[in-house]
């Protein structure tokens, strides 16, 4: 079968011919429909993130997938069911985080990640998965279901943010998303759809006309240009934010988030920067966190319940939003184009098959 992989020593994705997998006991065989591409995939291709599966000299890419059960193999699924796989897998037996259904809370080394760390991904005509890590989705998710994974990352961040404010009466009204990449835009659409937030903002660094600014404004949110209004000035230029969601990966934003927060507000940090020193008014940030009961939290990955919550969020998106977000659908033999980046590219997907 066809698979899209990166070979050891190379830094471009290519189509390789690999044997069709056979499901083990407890696993189903899935025919892949679509696999989304995100920044992590680019990092895996470039070799700055992740690691090859043990004993192989190639890694099959892709962690955002939707597919159809081809062979249920005794699992709870029926042939023809539409499914979305989760990303993390236990590295061996007896892993407490996986046993509790909290793989997203496992520390480094206590998990593998399909398509990222130590395990093959889903960019292939077929993949197999333990049924515990497959989430059934409705038939009308055949084209959009690959977005369940990134949306579930935000479901987790929101759950943790609300939990951090659960000791008192928290009534958020304003939210700011940092970053107009795919994760930022998906999150903005989720926040707009939620009744909690009356006013939503999204921070970027693009000139108009720009497709992401068009999406931000069509969602009814306000675009904030960080070159004109740096994060510590958002409070004066707009308003204090009850919730800030960081999705730029720009390290100063992690700390400057505190300056944009309203008293009792919470900031969720999702970006994954590389090492680097930043210059900040640490005194102001520390003082405001304490005297204004502000919270910051980091969040990565997600669990099965958060995938299920993501299904609902995704179903609530207006159709135009996913149409505008997905700027390219490519066949496996067009993989180089699928991995191209640019200001007119938001989210691309590799399509192996259709329903
Ligand atoms: P992208 O890199 O596509 O998006 C980041 C966006 O932030 C870009 O649009 C970029 O603008 C913008 N940006 C960067 N710096 C600034 C700045 N100083 N001011 C204003 N805007 C800025 O990534 P994704 O959307 O895919 O993901 C966002 C981050 O979240 C990444 O760091 C990614 O690694 C991480 N991530 C974390 C997950 C988790 O579970 N924690 C899951 C998935 C992703 P421009 O395009 O104009 O350069
Ligand atoms: Zn992803």
pLDDT tens digit sequence for 93-120: 889 999 999 999 999 999 999 999 999 9
Ligand 1 atom nearest 343 alpha carbon: 46
Q: Is 193 annotated as a binding residue?
A: no
Question: In angstroms, rounded to a whole number, what is the distance separating the alpha carbons of residues 22 and 12?
Answer: 27
Predicted pLDDT at 195: 86
CA of 313 to the centre of ligand 2 (A): 16
Nearest CA-CA partner of 52 in 126, 115, 133: 115
The whole-number pLDDT of residue 114 equals: 98
Q: How far apart are CA 217 and CA 287, in angstroms?
A: 34
Q: What is the DSSP string of 280-347?
A: --HHHHHHHHHHTT-EEEE-----HHHHHHHHHHHHHS-HHHHHHHEEEEE-GGGHHHHT---TT--E
ipTM of model: 0.99
Contact 181, 145 (CB under 8 A): no
Alpha-carbon distances of 352 from 19, 34, 279, 349, rounded to whole Å: 16, 6, 46, 10
pLDDT for the residue 94: 81
**Residue 253: which residues within 8 A CB-CB, separation 6 or more?**
178, 231, 246, 271
Give the count of alpha carbons within 13 A of 66, CB side only: 28
181 assigned ligand-binding residue: yes
Question: Separation of 103 CA from ligand 2 center, angstroms?
Answer: 16
Ligand 1 neighbours (beta carbon < 6 A): 38-40, 153, 179-184, 203-206, 226, 247-250, 270-272, 299-301
Q: Which residues sit with Cβ closer than 5 angstroms to ligand 2, an ion?
A: 38, 64, 150
Q: Tell me: domain 152-298, CATH 1.20.810.10, correct?
A: no
Backbone region of residue 221 per phi and psi (left: phi > 0; alpha: psi in -120 to 50; beta: other values): beta
Mutation test residue for ligand 1: of 37, 39, 185, the one with most atoms within 8 Å of CB: 39
| Predicted local confidence at residue 346, as pLDDT | 98
Q: Is 128 annotated as a binding residue?
A: no
Q: Specify the residue with its C-alpha closest to ligand 1, atom 30.
A: 271
Could you give the CA distance from residue 19 to residue 127 in angstroms, rounded to a whole number? 11
Cα 92 from Cα 258, distance rounded (Å): 40
Instruction: Write out the chain's pLDDT in tens, 355 residues.
Output: 999 999 999 999 999 999 999 999 999 999 999 999 999 999 999 988 888 999 999 999 999 999 999 999 999 999 999 999 999 999 988 899 999 999 999 999 999 999 999 999 999 999 999 999 999 999 999 999 999 999 999 999 999 999 999 999 999 999 999 999 999 999 999 999 998 999 999 999 999 999 999 999 999 999 999 999 999 999 999 999 999 999 999 999 999 999 999 999 999 999 999 999 999 999 999 999 999 999 999 999 999 999 999 999 999 999 999 999 999 999 999 999 999 999 999 999 999 999 9
Of residues 125, 151, 189, the one with CA closest to residue 324:
189
CATH topology of domain 2-136+318-351: Quinone Oxidoreductase; Chain A, domain 1 (3.90.180)
Asked if residue 171 belongs to a known ligand binding site, the reply is no
pLDDT score, position 92: 87
Question: Alpha-carbon distance 281 to 294, whole Å?
Answer: 16
Domain boundaries, the chain: 2-136+318-351, 152-298
Name the residue at shortest CA distance from atom 34 of ligand 1. 272
Q: Quick one: pLDDT at residue 83?
A: 98
């Amino acid at each position: 079968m066809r698979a899209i992989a990166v070979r050891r020593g190379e830094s471009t994705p290519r189509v390789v011919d690999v044997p069709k997998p056979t499901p083990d006991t407890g696993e189903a065989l899935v025919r892949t429909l679509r696999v989304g591409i995100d920044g992590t995939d680019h990092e895996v291709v470039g070799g700055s993130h992740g690691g090859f599966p043990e004993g192989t000299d190639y890694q099959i890419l892709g962690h955002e997938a939707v597919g159809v059960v081809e062979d249920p193999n005794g699992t709870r699924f029926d042939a023809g069911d539409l499914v979305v796989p989760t990303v993390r897998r236990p590295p061996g037996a007896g892993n407490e985080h996986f046993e509790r259904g909290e793989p997203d809370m496992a520390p480094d080394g206590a998990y593998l990640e399909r398509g990222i760390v130590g395990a093959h991904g889903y960019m292939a005509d077929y993949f197999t998965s333990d049924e515990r890590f497959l989430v059934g989705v409705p038939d009308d998710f055949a084209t959009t279901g690959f977005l369940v994974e990134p949306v579930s990352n935000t479901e987790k961040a929101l759950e943790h943010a609300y939990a951090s404010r659960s000791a008192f009466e928290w009534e958020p009204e304003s939210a700011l998303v940092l970053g107009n990449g795919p994760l930022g835009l998906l999150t903005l659409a989720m926040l707009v759809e939620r009744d909690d937030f009356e006013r939503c903002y999204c921070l970027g660094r693009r000139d108009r006309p720009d497709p992401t600014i068009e999406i931000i404004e069509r969602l009814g949110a306000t675009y904030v240009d960080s070159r004109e209004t740096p994060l510590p000035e958002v409070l004066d230029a707009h308003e204090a934010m009850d919730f800030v969601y960081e999705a730029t990966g720009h390290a100063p934003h992690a700390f400057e988030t505190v300056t944009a927060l309203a008293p009792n507000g919470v900031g969720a940090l999702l970006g994954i920067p590389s090492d680097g020193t930043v210059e900040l008014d640490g005194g102001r940030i520390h003082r405001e966190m304490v005297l204004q009961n502000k919270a910051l939290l980091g969040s990565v990955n997600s669990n099965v319940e958060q995938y299920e919550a993501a299904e609902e969020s995704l179903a609530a998106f207006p159709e135009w939003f996913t149409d505008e977000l997905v700027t390219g659908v490519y066949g496996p033999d067009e993989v180089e184009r699928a991995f191209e980046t640019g200001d007119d590219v938001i989210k691309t997907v590799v399509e192996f098959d259709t329903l």
